[in-house]
Amino acid sequence: MHKSETYWARAEGSIFSLVQLYQEGSGNHVKGNYPRFIQRGSHGHIWDVDGNEYVDYDMGLGPIILGYCYEAVNQAVMDQLQLGTHFSLVSPGEVEYAELVIENIPCAEKVRFLKTGSSATEAAVRIARAYTGRSHIIRGEYHGWHEWTIAGEGYRQGGIISEARQYIHMCRYNDLSSFEKLFHQHKGEIAAVIIEPLIIQKPKNDFLKNLLDLCHAEGALLIFDEVVTGFRFHLGGAQKYLGITPDLATFGKAAANGLPLSFVTGKKEIMDAVDKDVYLFTTFGGERLSLAAGIAVINELKNRDVNDRIWSLGGRLKKETNALTERLGLDISLEGSHPRLMFNFKGSNDQYRRQMKNTFMQECIKRGVFLGWTIFPCYTHTDADIDLTMNVFEDAMKVCKQYKDSVRAWGG
Ligand SMILES: Cc1ncc(COP(=O)(O)O)c(C=O)c1O
């Protein structure tokens, strides 16, 4: 990790907060064991700046749905590169992409292109506030770095205006009564509920359908934040997979297999009603390399078994990992839906859980498997990648078992 650590020392002198992605913060990595800088990627593999190769499951925090350097996407980008990257008038690619979105995503009747997940969720909330004439928002988990999201968090509150907090309310997934309570407390004031259609838990007792009905009964909109689930669960998003159509939805991450493309989309009636009122304009909104990549991604999803493959790879990882931890008697499980899995390190106290997680991740990285917050299978992970991963998981879990046994022996 010599080069990684050298670059890290240089970054400390030059880059604000060091990393672009919060989850990549140095606190989450075991110093000296984890690479800090990646040089390149191909299919489901990455190489760090010291030349070490890994099977990657972090996939740029979700965007890499097809694999790194995926041929059809690279070709589309290179073709567009010859023609120019960015102009001041609308490109035919914008119309083509918008039509593909409308054809495939259930709630999509109008589309606005943006660059990041945060700008898409910000736009959706702006549209909802303009449409309803209300200010309050009920939100689920993370939706971006803007004020109304971070105001609801308990960390990094620097620069957040405290008044922003009164307009933002947090609710728990699958707990309809917590939403009902807020609608009651803020009668006629809630503009929208914005939530991810699913994270780890699946909807229970018709939660999403009941939430949609509740929002409409209260004159509010339901926004699905599909920045992570979009394209990954299904070409039509998790809304298509779950069969629930929200009023508005936001997509990002996987939209262009790693190029910056996001969008807000939704019902024509809502978007048309506010078209003359809201300001959603940005210089790079129609930037052409990302749109070319986005068109290539949708075409790959339409014409190949990308989603089936992702579901099946994740299914194998989940089934075999959980059988392994059960066999070893470890309180660790791989949870969530197959396209988006997360480890749950259980145990009686925080320090034990954190130590278990660090041990596991460190033993995996030593053996060539790179894990992050979430496990994202991609289309070009191979069966051999999964075989290797399961061998590595087995070795790493055995080290975790030794740690567990040693804690027990010391009466911990
Ligand atoms: C569900 C969800 N929404 C929105 C965002 C913000 O996206 P971005 O980081 O591209 O601004 C994220 C980022 O991880 C996310 O997970």
d(CA 194, CA 186): 16
Structure tokens at 277: 């009122």
- Residue of 344, 332, 399, 330 whose CA lies nearest to 374: 344
Q: Please compute, for residue 26, the number of CA atoms within 13 A of its CA located in the half-sphere on the CB side.
A: 10
140 lines ligand 1 (CB under 6 A): no
Each residue of 264-285: pLDDT tens digit?
999 999 999 999 999 999 999 9
Q: What pLDDT, on the 0 to 100 scale, is given for residue 24?
A: 54
C-alpha–C-alpha distance, residues 370 and 170, integer Å: 32
**Residue-level pLDDT at 154:** 80
- Which one-letter amino acid corresponds to residue 282? T
CB 107 within 8 A of CB 247: yes
The Cα–Cα gap between 143 and 196 comes to: 9
Taking Cα atoms as reference points, which of 154, 164, 240, 165 lies closest to residue 197? 240
Q: Residues 147-165: pLDDT tens digits?
A: 998 888 888 899 999 899 9
Whether 197 lines ligand 1, by a CB cut-off of 6 Å, is no
Atom 8, ligand 1: residue with shortest CA distance: 117
Cα 60 from Cα 91, distance rounded (Å): 28
Q: Is the pLDDT of residue 27 over 60?
A: no
Which segments of the chain belong to CATH 3.90.1150.10?
Answer: 2-68+305-409
How sure is the predictor about 1, in pLDDT bands with cuts at 50, 70 and 90? confident
- Exposure of 78 in the CB half-sphere (CA atoms within 13 A): 7
Q: State the pLDDT at residue 395.
A: 98
**Ligand 1 centroid vs 142 CA: distance in angstroms?**
7
At 411 the pLDDT is 67
- Pocket probe for ligand 1: among 58, 227, 231, the residue whose CB has the most ligand atoms within 8 Å is 227
Taking a C-beta distance cutoff of 8 angstroms, is the pair 243, 104 a contact? Answer: no
Report the separation in Å between the CA atom of 222 and the middle of ligand 1, taken as the mean of its atom positions.
18
The full DSSP string for 102-146 is HHHSTT-SEEEEESSHHHHHHHHHHHHHHHHT--EEEE-S---SS
Ligand 1 centroid to Cα of residue 40, in Å, is: 23
Grouping H, G, I as helix, E, B as strand and the rest as coil, residue 318 is helix
Pick the CATH number of 2-68+305-409 from 3.40.50.720, 3.50.50.60, 3.40.47.10, 3.90.1150.10: 3.90.1150.10
Compute the radius of gyration of the chain from its Cα atoms.
22
The pLDDT of residue 230 is 98
Tokens of 109: 């009747």
Residue 241 scores a pLDDT above 60: yes
pLDDT for residue 242: 97
At residue 32 the predicted structure's pLDDT band, cuts being 50, 70 and 90, is confident
Containing 99, the helix (H) or strand (E) segment is helix 92-104
CA dist 179 and 182 (Å) reads 5
Angle at which helices 207-217 and 176-185 pack, to 10 degrees? 10
pLDDT of residue 388: 98
Provide the pLDDT for residue 385. 98
pLDDT tens readout for residues 297-334: 999 999 999 999 999 999 999 999 999 999 999 999 99
Look at 101-105, 154-158, 242-246, 253-257 and tell me which has the smallest mean pLDDT: 154-158
pLDDT, position 283: 94
pLDDT single digits (tens) 70-99: 999 999 999 999 999 999 999 999 999 999
* pLDDT at 135 > cutoff 60: yes
User: How confident is residue 3, by pLDDT bands cut at 50, 70 and 90?
Assistant: confident
**Distance between CA atoms of residues 251 and 111, nearest Å:** 10
State the pLDDT confidence band at 13, using cuts at 50, 70 and 90.
confident
- Ligand 1 centroid–CA 251 distance in Å is 9
Residue 194 Cα to ligand 1 middle (Å): 13
CA distance 266 to 250: 9
- Decide whether any atom of ligand 1 lies within 6 Å of the 117 Cβ: yes
Residue pair 344/381 in contact by the 8 Å Cβ criterion: no
Fold of 71-303: Aspartate Aminotransferase; domain 2 (3.40.640)
Give pLDDT tens digits for 166-218.
999 999 999 999 999 999 999 999 999 999 999 999 999 999 999 999 999 99
Residue limits of CATH 3.40.640.10 in the chain: 71-303
Residues 274, 112: Cα–Cα separation, whole Å: 13
Q: In this structure, how many other beta carbons lie within 10 angstroms of the beta carbon of residue 305?
A: 11
Q: Is the CB of 115 under 6 A from ligand 1?
A: no
Please identify, by atom number, the ligand 1 atom nearest to the C-alpha of residue 116.
Answer: 10
Residue 158, helix vs strand vs coil? coil
β-strands 262-266, 110-114 pairing:
antiparallel
